[in-house]
Amino acid sequence: MKAKLYQNSLLLIILLAHLVICTVTHAQIQVKDDSSQIIILQQPAKNVISLSPGLTELIYSAGGAQYLKGVVSYSDFPEQAKEIPQVGSYNALDLEKIIALQPDLVVAWKSGNPTHQVEQLIKLGLTVYISEPNNFMDIPRTINTLGKLMGTETISEQNSIHFINEFKRLETIYQNKIKSKNKRTFIQIWNKPVMSVNKDHLISKVITFCGGENIFAQAKGLTSAPSIESILVNNPDLIIATGMADTSKKWLSRWQQWPSLNAVKNKHLYAVNPDHLVRHTPRILLGIDEVCRLLNQPSPVIN
């Protein structure tokens, strides 16, 4: 009797151990997302949905081109992303479309997607990786993590190393230049009303990287509408407008009525392509390069 009990419990232990080992060996992929949740995948994700245009770019960089099955509207880069079925816009998701695509991984954007809809996706049993890139180095880190989740590490590691090297190259070029130190910059992201960004915005971080100083770095909100008066008082050395295509030129022409402004006097009014400056994606390198060149242009000699 006792021997049988012993035998049975031994069997049970072996069984349990087997179960534990199986779970451990099958849980091949385990990463932590930006909301500190542990994401576990039994196998690499082959049906991925991206919930922001920026994350779409990062998934491509991570080598997930053939696994991306759904994107949100305005996923316009790379060009192929436009062909992928849409599941709503980043700020109003079509949950039904998402469920119907049966994704094994949904990549969400913490501050952009509606919290209640992301909560609901998790409740419905989907695996949701929540991303919230806040600085330049979050870009290669996220590319690497996404590569791990999709089993495309060879591509993702290559692309993240490329990003880091390129970033360091720009750093050595521009951060040693003294000329641009503290060039006081006004970033204009909208014209009517005139709107700018504070230090937490990606554009402002690019300005700081290039050695400039955002005159509204300390403003309360991420974006704000400063008065014309406060812009004139701050007297920026540079004005950078980030309007689409030709609109920036129109925006910049309004500053000509104040020729005493340093930026106007020295002809430092620039339009930059917003596509390269608003998303946490490898394309930010192009934006950094463009903005740093502008900040480091020599001032025309004035007598």
Partner 1 sequence: MKLKQHPFIFLSSLLILVLVSFLFALSTGSSHLPSQTILSLVDGTASPIQQSLVFELRLPRALAAFAAGALLSIAGVLMQVLLKNPLADPYVLGVSGGSALAALLAMLMGVNTFWLTGSAFLGALLSISLVFSFAHSNGSWSISRLLLTGIILASGWGALISFVLVISPPEKIHGMLFWLMGDLSYDRPLLPSYIILFFGFLFSLSISRQLNILLWGDQQAGSLGIDIKRLRTSIFFISSLLTAGAITLAGSIGFVGLVIPHLVRLIIGTDHRLLIPASALTGGALLIIADTLARTVLAPQQLPVGVLTALIGVPLFLYLLRKSQ
The residues binding partner 1 (CB under 8 A) are: 73, 86-89, 91-97, 99-100, 102, 111-112, 114-117, 119-120, 123-125, 220-223
CB of 198 to partner 1, least distance (A): 10
Name which of 52 and 61 has its Cβ closer to partner 1: 52
CB of 253 to partner 1, least distance (A): 25
- How far apart (Å, rounded) are the C-alpha atoms in residues 53 and 73? 7
Name which of 176 and 218 has its Cβ closer to partner 1: 218
Report the chain's terminal Cα–Cα distance, integer Å: 107
CB of 284 to partner 1, least distance (A): 18
Name which of 4 and 220 has its Cβ closer to partner 1: 220
Which residue from 81, 54, 55 is spatially nearest to 275, judged by alpha carbons? 54
Provide the H-helix boundaries in 27-152.
53-61, 95-100, 115-123, 138-150
**Looking up tokens 């430092």, which residue turns up?**
268
Q: How far is CA 26 from CA 20, 44, 276, in A?
A: 10, 11, 40
Helix pair angle (153-174, 202-209), 10° resolution: 50
Name which of 99 and 164 has its Cβ closer to partner 1: 99
| Those residues with Cβ within 8 angstroms of residue 277's Cβ, 6 or more apart along the chain or in another chain | 202, 203, 206, 242, 284, 287, 291
CB of 85 to partner 1, least distance (A): 8
CB of 98 to partner 1, least distance (A): 9
CB of 193 to partner 1, least distance (A): 10
CB of 53 to partner 1, least distance (A): 13
Name which of 93 and 239 has its Cβ closer to partner 1: 93
Name which of 89 and 158 has its Cβ closer to partner 1: 89
| Those residues with Cβ within 8 angstroms of residue 249's Cβ, 6 or more apart along the chain or in another chain | 271
Provide the H-helix boundaries in the chain.
2-26, 53-61, 95-100, 115-123, 138-150, 153-174, 202-209, 228-234, 247-253, 262-265, 284-295
CB of 110 to partner 1, least distance (A): 9
Largest CA distance in the chain: 107
Name which of 126 and 271 has its Cβ closer to partner 1: 126
Q: Is the dihedral of CA 121, 122, 125, 129 positive or negative?
A: positive
Name which of 72 and 271 has its Cβ closer to partner 1: 72
Burial 212-228 (b: 16+ CB within 10 A, else e): bbbbbbebeeeeeebee
